[in-house]
Amino acid sequence: MQELVRKALSGDTRSIARIITLVENESPYTEEIMKTLYPHSGKAHIVGITGSPGSGKSTLTDKLIHEFKEKGNKVGVIAIDPSSPFSGGAILADRIRMQKHAVDRNVYIRSMGSRGSLGGLSKSTYEAALILDACGKDIIFIETVGVGQSEVDIMKIADTVCLVLVPGMGDDIQIMKAGIMEIADIFIVNKADREGVERVVAEVKMALDLVQKRSWIPPVHSTIAEKGNGITELAASISNHHEFLSISTEGLEKRRNRLVTEVEEILQREIARFTEEKWNQKKTPELIDSLYSRNTDPYTVAGRILEEVLLEN
């Protein structure tokens, strides 16, 4: 295992790919891998790209890859597509629009199925980003599932969140209502050759005036990703935000908060593992029967399980 991790750290693509799989599959090696890699991480700029389906996230990502690669960066991409709730399988097709970078040694693209996770990411997205970070990528783009309204998880793991909107899709207002305005650091109005761009830009600016003032004022970019229009400016904003994070207190807060969240999430996951195990042992039809007949209640049952777990550990 150490050999695999060592090769990954030296930038070997196959090894990087393999350890992401191990972590994604929650293999017993996960902890060892993450512990070894952790000291090497913390250097990359993690950028989230979120927005509704059809807003052009993949095409934008494709152009951004190009832009950052040209500046000498090593680029990582994680693209998440939904897994089927029925079969657990998934069709991961985001990379179609990025395939011209497939053979580029300085670009690594990884597709992930959401595997039951809500919130626009998959359970292991953060770990995958950390792995890429530790293995030398300078900037990592995370393209979320893109279901629109519930995609707040990206805020927890990305340094910079870009929200993509499109004129005339009708969902923009929904997004603004849903509180996603607050999570975005950069707004992108893509497909700006369509009618109604000015309106969307004005609406976003207006809405931004209403939300709490921050020291970072999110810029609003118009782009036509398909033609590459507005991408250079967008890339500059992304770099500016990175710069801002590294010198401002807000940025420091953000990174420190993320560490707190990280520990909390590991704790939750570990505790969940124990309780789940115990619950699976106890989950007899008889117990459900007595719940059903109201001889006992879920609170008492849960309390008892928790007690046992605590006693055993």
Partner 1 sequence: MFDKTQLEEIEKLKHSYEKALEKSLPKGPERKSEFKTVSGIPVKRIYTPEDLTDMDYCHEIGFPGEYPYTRGVQPTMYRGRLWTMRMYAGFSTAEESNKRYRYLLSQGGSGLSVAFDLPTQIGYDSDHPMAQGECGKVGVAIDSLADMEILFDQIPLDKVSTSMTINAPASVLLAMYICVGEKQGVSSDKLAGTIQNDILKEYIARGTYIFPPKPSMRLITDIFEFCSKNVPKWNTISISGYHIREAGSTAAQEIAFTLADAIAYVEAAIKAGLDPDVFGKRLSFFFNAHNSFLEEVAKFRAARRMWAIIMKNRFGVSDPKALTLRFHTQTAGCTLTAQQPENNIIRVALQALSSVLGGTQSLHTNSMDEALALPTEKSVGIALKTQQIIGYESGVTDTVDPLAGSYAIESLTNEIQMKAEEYISKIDEMGGMLTAIEKGYVQKQIQDAAYEYQKAVESSEITVVGVNKFQMKEEERDFQLLRVDEKVGHNQIEKLKKLRSGRDNLAVREALEDIRQASRDTSVNMMPHIINAVRCYATEGEICGVLREEFGEYTENIVL
Partner 2 sequence: MTHEKIRVIVAKPGLDGHDRGAKVIARALRDAGMEVIYTGLRQTPEQIVDTAIQEDADAIGISILSGAHHFYFSRIIELLKEHEALDIIVFGGGVIPDDDVPALLAMGAGAIFGPGTTTTTCVDWLKSKVHEKRTLEMA
Name the binder of 37 from partner 1, partner 2, none, CB < 5-8 A by kind: none
Residue 103 beta carbon to partner 1: minimum distance, rounded to whole angstroms: 12
Of 30 and 290, CB closest to partner 2: 30
Angle, alpha carbons 191-232-221 (nearest 5°) = 45
> Nearest-5° angle of CA 82, CA 88, CA 93?
40
Q: Say how far apart CA 269 and CA 164 lie, in whole Å.
A: 31
Determine if 89 is a binding residue for partner 2 (CB under 8 A). yes
Rounded to whole angstroms, how far apart are CA atoms 292 and 18?
A: 46
DSSP 32-45: HHHHHHGGG-S-SE
Helix (H) or strand (E) holding 163: strand 160-165
Q: Whole-number minimum distance, CB 111 to partner 1, in Å?
A: 12
- Shortest Cβ distance from residue 33 to partner 2 (Å)? 14
Query: Which of partner 2, partner 1, none interacts with 123 (beta carbon under 5 to 8 A by kind)?
Result: none
**Whose Cβ is closer to partner 1: residue 45's or residue 95's?**
95
Binding positions for partner 1, rule: CB under 8 A:
54, 59, 91, 93, 96-97, 226-227
Q: Which of 10, 35, 71, 99 binds partner 2 (CB under 8 A)?
A: 99
* Sign of torsion over alpha carbons 25, 30, 33, 38: positive
Enumerate residues 139-158 that contact partner 2 by CB under 8 A: none
The one among 1, 96, 206, 287 contacting partner 2 by CB under 8 A: 96
Structure tokens of 203?
């609406």
Long-range contacts of 101-106 (CB under 8 A, 24+ apart): 101/62, 101/65, 101/66, 101/69, 101/75, 104/69, 106/69, 106/73, 106/74, 106/75
- Residue 59 near which of partner 1, partner 2, none (CB within 5-8 Å, type-dependent): partner 1
75-81 and 107-113 beta bridge pairing: parallel
Contacted entry of partner 1, partner 2, none for residue 54, CB cut-off 5 to 8 Å set by kind:
partner 1
Q: Which two tokens stand for residue 151?
A: 């995609």
Name residues contacting partner 2, limited to 1-30 (CB under 8 A): 13-14, 17-18, 20-21, 25
Each residue 101-120 as x (binds partner 2 by CB under 8 A) or -, in order, gives: -xx----xxxx-x-x-----
Q: In the complex with partner 1, which residue's Cβ is closer, 226 or 262?
A: 226
Q: Between 101 and 221, whose beta carbon lies closer to partner 2?
A: 101
Q: Which does 227 bind (CB under 5 to 8 A by kind): partner 2, partner 1, none?
A: partner 1
x-or-dash string of contact with partner 2, 68-87, rule CB under 8 A: ---------------xx-xx
- Position 92, amino acid: L
Read off the amino acid at residue 260.
V
Name which of 50, 245, 61 is nearest 148 in CA terms.
50
Least gap, CB of 133 to partner 2 (angstroms): 16
Per the CB < 8 A criterion, the answer to whether 231 and 64 are in contact is: yes
Interface residues with partner 2 (CB under 8 A)? 13-14, 17-18, 20-21, 25, 83-84, 86-93, 95-96, 99, 102-103, 108-111, 113, 115
